[in-house]
Amino acid sequence: MTLLKVLLCRAQRRGLRSELIEAIWPDHEAINAAHALDSATSVLRRHILRTGDSGVMLLTLRSGGETALKLPGQHRLWVDSDAFLSQVSGAMRVEHRGQSPIPLLEDALALARGEFLEDDLCAEWAQGRRHTINGARHRALFKLVDLYLEDGQVSLAEEWLFAALEENPTDEDALCRLMTMLARQGRRREALQLYLYTEDVLREEQAEPAAYTRDVARRIRQGLALSEQGASYAATGGRAPNPLGGGESPDWGSGIGEERSRMASLRAGRAVPPYQYRSLRHRPQRRLGVSTGWTLGCSRAKRIGFSPG
């Protein structure tokens, strides 16, 4: 399975034998790595990638004295992470033609639920592909949020941001975007609850929110109006009007201990969050027979990548 994942993470799904050995067995001097690769190739070809037809799903190529292994393309070996990247690229092309990319972006993000290759988070051979996928995921998410806001569909924009934070509470980009949106609607306490939750999660990981995240929370806590310009957040000066009437907004600093206690109770399962949002509607996948999870479109498919959303 590691051989299969390494090949799927490489350009054109192709790798030289020497490169594959170095990636899978970095300490290969202590073992017969050539024999181990031959054994892994045989098992992969005969048991995991076996199909009903006579076609070969794992090719051995020889050129210039080098031997390489190569997997077939997406048309024969369907992988949801590659489909996700293709959908995101297609959405950008559709927008350039003057059409709405929203349906393609929604379908793309529906494919990218969960962590890419969650069983190989520290594997060096997966990092390049992981960075590409995570970057495309953020680009698609924030583009979709921008389009919803342009159409006045604030609730849908919130829905996607809440879903992103539920899946990854330490996503500070999504957190700052959502906090700003909530504060603009007068929902400052709710915005601070989200911040405190993320702060607690990061503390468990022996980390803390970034300076810009803390600054957004400080401005909300002090009742300062926020303006969003691209990825930056700046105070416009003065205190924002109190959404409940009666002059300026209260200083939320005095209630910070209470909110932290409420969030601790929530995480311990003793309370229900005051904000209930709809779960994302499930869109049917366009390719039948392939379930969520980074799945192979062949007769003996196994989930090896994105964990189910």
Which pTM was predicted? 0.71
User: DSSP letters of 196-246?
Assistant: HHHHHHHHHTT----HHHHHHHHHHHTTEEEEEETTEEEEEEEEPBPTTSS
Write out the chain's pLDDT in tens, 309 residues: 999 999 999 999 999 999 999 999 988 676 888 999 999 999 999 888 887 766 688 999 998 889 999 999 999 999 999 999 999 999 999 999 999 999 999 999 999 888 899 999 999 999 999 999 999 999 999 999 999 999 999 999 999 999 999 999 999 999 999 999 999 999 999 999 999 999 999 999 999 999 999 999 999 999 876 755 443 333 333 333 333 333 333 333 333 444 444 444 444 444 434 333 333 333 333 332 222 344 444 333 444 455 544
Provide the pLDDT for residue 249.
Answer: 35
> Pick from 31, 29, 7: which is nearest to 17 by CA?
7
Report the distance separating Cα 189 and Cα 256, nearest Å: 9
Three-state DSSP at 286 gives coil
Structure tokens at 301: 């498919």
Check if the beta carbon of residue 172 is closer than 8 Å to that of residue 213. Answer: yes
**H-run or E-run covering 194:** helix 188-204
Report the distance separating Cα 185 and Cα 178, nearest Å: 11
Provide the pLDDT for residue 285.
Answer: 33
Check if the beta carbon of residue 167 is closer than 8 Å to that of residue 309. Answer: yes
Which DSSP state fits 248? B
